[in-house]
Each structure stands twice: as structure tokens, then as C-alpha cells.
Structure 1
Amino acid sequence: MSNLIDLQFQIEKLQKQANEIKAKEFANTVQDILAKMQAFGITVKDLQSAKPARGGNGGRGKFAAGKAAKAVKSAKGPKKSAQPVAAKYRGPNGETWSGRGLTPKWLAALVAQGQSKDAFLIA
């Protein structure tokens, strides 16, 4: 089994190899990016004004897909505004519950004591 010094030497060697590969591929990558920018009509200004992506971008870097991402967002439609729901149940101390979500503790305790949930319905 390798010791720490051997592992550190291997890490250093691999890091140098990675840097050499990166340097060799840099020019080709820049040319590829420029070709794609030209094909899609993307300008440097488009890239600078792009909002940073919120993760889940598949490792494509720090910016969202630009125009395509905006088109997807607008296709979703308008957001529904959160409207409060009218109370459906009222407790003996004035507590209220809409009937949605988990049963509140005050109502669960009263039902556990044998009272009917329907007894607390608001007319």
C-alpha cells in the first residue's frame, strides 16, 4: 500500500498532466465556443447580462442558457397568487383551521377526548 508521500507525488504528477491537457485544449475550446456563439447569434453582452444559474445546470458553467431559459420561464404561465383560505373549523378558544393540511393540536386533542370534529364546523 502506498504511503502519504507516494500519494502526494502521484497527485502532483496528475495535476501537472491535467494542466498540460487543459492548455492544449484551450484554443480548440475557445474556437468551439465562438462558433456556437456565431451560430446562435449570442454576443458577449448576452453572456454578461445572463443571470447566474441556480444549480442543476448539468455542469455547464455559471450562466443559464440565456434566451432558451427565458423562453421556458415565460411558457410556464402566470403565477397564482396565494389567497388565504376561509376558516372551516373554530375551537372553543377562538382558534381556527381551514381544514387543509395537518389537523391542529387543539382539534386533535378535542377529538381524542371523544368530541366530534363536525361539532366545530363553522356554519
Structure 2
Amino acid sequence: MATYKQLQDQIKQLQHEAEELRKNELSNAISQIKMTMAEYGITLADLGFTNKKKNGQVRAPLAPKYRNPATGETWSGRGKAPKWIDPNNKEKFLIK
């Protein structure tokens, strides 16, 4: 009967072997996919892997919606709120 230490060593060895096999199989799968894509002229866009933004498109900046009365700093209301905004009372910072 094997000891606990021996079983733990066997587990580590098997995990190492399994990881090596996984790397080899993954490498083979990637190679096969690349060859198939090249053979049929398949692109990433054909598979649905496209950027949501079209190349070269830049969003126009938004007009400021909030202003810090102390510093004059502004915020459009998009993205992470600045520290000077009170999340419970944004109305007092609205630009009128």
C-alpha cells in the first residue's frame, strides 16, 4: 500500500504530464485551425470576431453636463464620476 506522500508525488507527476499533453494538443489544434482558415480563406470577421468600433471612427466629445462650482471642472456624465460629484445629489452640479 502506498503512503500519502507517494500518492501526492504521483498526483503531481500526473498533473505535470496532463499539462504537457494539454499544451501539445492545444498547439496541434491551433495549427489545424490556422491551416483550415488559410485553405478556405476564412477571416476572423467571418467567425464573428470583429471590433465593435469601426477603424478610424472616434466618438465626438460630449458637452459638459456637470460643473464643480469650486474649481470650474466639468464632467459630461459618461464614464467614472469625478470625486467632487456627490452621487446622492448630482442635481446641484448640473449646468443650467
TM-score scaled by length of structure 1: 0.30
Larger radius of gyration: 1
Higher relative contact order (CA 8 A, sep 6+): 2
Question: More helix by proportion, 1 or 2?
Answer: 1
TM-score scaled by length of structure 2: 0.36
